[in-house]
Structure 1
């Protein structure tokens, strides 16, 4: 069970890397002003492109967060999960800034990524329970003795 969860988590993170860290044009980067982007989102909710961008940012880290909460029970603590989600969202934007990918570096994207990851992680925690036993090769810690 642990191996399967680890492989699924690795695949989810690889997908995030492919979606966010592949070059998107020329080198360098551009700054995404949080105020300008927030206005774009709020004034464009009637636009399919805007809604897709918003949902994409909210859902980007959700599968990885859900798998991570199952695989790493320490993430079932809301405080720990919030820090991990925020760190993951910020790390994507920092890497987009550091690497010559031609991407827009956006603090608002980092925030939306973190909110989506936090929501997914909290949902999974509610489903499996914060104190659910950790899987060990198909045998739970509670049954191991």
Structure 2
């Protein structure tokens, strides 16, 4: 499955936002900020939205945010998160129905028991140098990297 063209992204976001408004109250998601020993950060490329993003997703009912990070990293990149995670921040995502919040956790200790295999949701999962992200990196993901590097003041907005 090929990614959604960038020209369709605003429409996709509006539909997603409408569905969330009708079906849910406040939504809460997580992202894993996974770093490696070479000074890289893990980014994924989805089949349904353009660009590179920090891996993550929704926190399921009955699940802690830390459990959601571990689950999403395993599902999206084949990464097994180890040790404690450090909360980097909680961000308000206005673009998603005006009621979405995203917690970002730094995951410095991890292992990858087997190589990543592309699937219907995630086409690629790769580490990129923190100082040399792909041009197609999403705005929110790029902001988190800049904050991590001390190049931008921390924000409360995604």
With normalisation by structure 1, the TM-score equals 0.28
Greater C-alpha Rg: 1
Highest RCO, 1 vs 2 (Cα 8 Å, sep ≥ 6): 1
Q: Which has the higher helix share?
A: 1
Q: Which has the higher strand share?
A: 2
